[in-house]
């Protein structure tokens, strides 16, 4: 009996120690994704819809994981992961983009490389299948950071980026949403958020962030939200973290949310978790700025704060940890 107890003690101690080591260990790579924050509750969801979202989020994470395992870079992984979500009608980005007031689809995207602090962004494109690939081309093939509307499309054509007929972005679901909003603008106020995003830490210690969106249902006047704005919707700096935001864009611009997380870490010494909480659950919550963000720091820590009922989100780490979540459990 005594022998058995001492064996058990050794086993317990070993397990505790192993867990401690695992928890402390910096993962080789990390991917975090979001598919938008908002009034996403069990009530608004069918089991089929829920399964479809989870399946697509898993597919995006697993695709990214395969790339990173083989030595893929943070930026190329961000692009591949976001493309999967852009090509799905489930999310308000790419194929599933919502309609503007005039019944058009205007897409925005941005990407940032934390190693070089290079960045690229596009706003108001109507005929580019994957706006995230265009944002990457702006970053790598132009002298500029941000291109807009027809000029951005012209650049896409010159770069040989896949162009589609604007009708590609027609989905019945989004069209109905616009009609519903047009019938009663105020009632649908809460439905306006929707974005996809991805942040990555790769094997080389580099961070990258990307965000893509179809904008706001019923948006007018060439409105630009936070998604294509470096500092507001997207930021990455190897010295601190990579961040992608989703929510009521106007607040995210005014509070420079993505960059704020980095600044709180760099200048105030906060952890990733505390920095994200401060901006999402204090600053923005106090002023009614609805939304959330995903983030990963240079040590592979992650944080996914949001102040809405739900946020489509998930992460995967080289250590084997993985989760895909929708609601505020």
> Does the active-site annotation cover 195?
yes
Cβ neighbours, 10 Å, residue 266: 15
Residues 267-306 that bind a copy of itself (CB under 8 A): 267-268, 287
Listed ranges 31-39, 59-67, 145-153, 196-204: which one lies at the site for a copy of itself (CB under 8 A): 145-153
Distance CA 242, CA 32 (A): 10
Listed ranges 78-86, 164-172, 226-234, 301-309: which one lies at the site for a copy of itself (CB under 8 A): 226-234
Is 99 a binding residue for a copy of itself by CB under 8 A? The answer is no
Q: Which of 32, 196, 229, 316 binds a copy of itself (CB under 8 A)?
A: 229
Is 232 a binding residue for a copy of itself by CB under 8 A? The answer is yes
Determine which one of 73, 133, 171, 195 is catalytic.
Answer: 195
Is 260 a binding residue for a copy of itself by CB under 8 A? The answer is yes
Is 221 a binding residue for a copy of itself by CB under 8 A? The answer is yes
Is 250 a binding residue for a copy of itself by CB under 8 A? The answer is yes
Distance CA 309, CA 326 (A): 9
Q: Can you give the C-alpha Rg of the chain in angstroms?
A: 20
Q: Is 257 exposed, middle or buried (0-12, 13-18, 19+ CB in 10 A)?
A: buried
Q: Which of 144, 180, 203, 285 binds a copy of itself (CB under 8 A)?
A: 144
- Write down the least CB distance from residue 189 to a copy of itself, Å: 10
Is 230 a binding residue for a copy of itself by CB under 8 A? The answer is yes
Cβ neighbours, 10 Å, residue 37: 29
Distance CA 163, CA 127 (A): 6
Listed ranges 70-78, 119-127, 172-180, 201-209: which one lies at the site for a copy of itself (CB under 8 A): 119-127
Distance CA 250, CA 102 (A): 21
Count of CA atoms in the C-beta half-sphere (13 A) of 249 = 25
Query: 84 or 113, CB closer to a copy of itself?
Result: 113
- Write down the least CB distance from residue 135 to a copy of itself, Å: 13
Distance CA 224, CA 108 (A): 8
Dihedral pair phi/psi, residue 211, rounded to 5°: -145, 145
Q: Which of 89, 253, 299, 323 binds a copy of itself (CB under 8 A)?
A: 253
Q: Which of 96, 124, 197, 292 binds a copy of itself (CB under 8 A)?
A: 124
Listed ranges 57-65, 151-159, 176-184, 321-329: which one lies at the site for a copy of itself (CB under 8 A): 151-159
Distance CA 97, CA 94 (A): 5
Dihedral pair phi/psi, residue 286, rounded to 5°: -60, -30
Tokens 């509070």, residue?
A: 255
- Write down the least CB distance from residue 188 to a copy of itself, Å: 14
Q: Do residues 302 and 30 lie in contact, with contact meaning Cβ atoms separated by under 8 Å?
A: yes
Q: How many residues are given for the chain?
A: 329
Interacting residues toward a copy of itself by CB under 8 A: 112, 117-119, 123-124, 142-152, 154-155, 220-225, 229-232, 235, 249-250, 253-256, 259-260, 263-264, 266-268, 287
Active site residues: 195
């Amino acid at each position: 009996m005594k022998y058995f107890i001492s064996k058990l003690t050794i086993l317990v101690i070993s397990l505790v120690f192993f867990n401690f080591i695992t928890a402390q260990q910096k993962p080789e790579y990390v991917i975090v994704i979001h598919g938008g924050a908002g009034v996403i509750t069990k009530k608004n969801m069918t089991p089929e819809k829920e399964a479809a979202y989870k399946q697509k989020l898993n597919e995006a994470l697993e695709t990214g994981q395969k790339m990173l395992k083989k030595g893929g870079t943070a930026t190329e992984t961000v692009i591949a992961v976001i493309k999967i979500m852009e090509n799905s009608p489930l999310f308000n980005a790419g194929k599933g983009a919502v309609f503007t007031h005039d019944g058009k689809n205007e897409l925005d995207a941005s990407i940032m490389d934390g190693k070089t602090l290079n960045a690229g962004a596009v706003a108001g494109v109507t005929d580019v299948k994957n706006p995230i690939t265009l944002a990457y081309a702006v970053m790598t093939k132009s002298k500029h950071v941000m291109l807009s509307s027809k000029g951005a499309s012209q650049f896409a054509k010159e770069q040989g980026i896949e162009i589609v007929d604007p009708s590609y972005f027609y989905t019945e679901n989004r069209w109905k949403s616009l009609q519903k909003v047009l019938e009663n603008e105020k009632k649908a106020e809460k439905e306006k958020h929707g974005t996809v995003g991805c942040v990555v830490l790769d094997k080389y210690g580099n961070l990258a962030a990307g965000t893509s969106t179809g904008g706001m249902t019923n948006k007018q006047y060439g409105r630009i939200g936070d998604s294509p704005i470096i500092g507001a919707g997207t930021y990455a700096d190897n010295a601190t973290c990579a961040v992608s935001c989703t929510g009521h864009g106007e607040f995210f611009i005014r509070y420079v949310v993505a960059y704020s997380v980095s600044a709180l870490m760099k200048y105030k010494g906060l952890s990733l978790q505390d920095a994200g909480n401060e901006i999402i659950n204090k600053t923005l919550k106090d002023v009614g700025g609805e939304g959330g963000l995903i983030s990963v720091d240079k040590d592979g820590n992650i944080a996914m704060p949001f102040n809405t009922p739900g946020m489509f989100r998930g992460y995967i780490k080289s250590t084997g940890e993985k989760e895909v979540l929708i609601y505020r459990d």
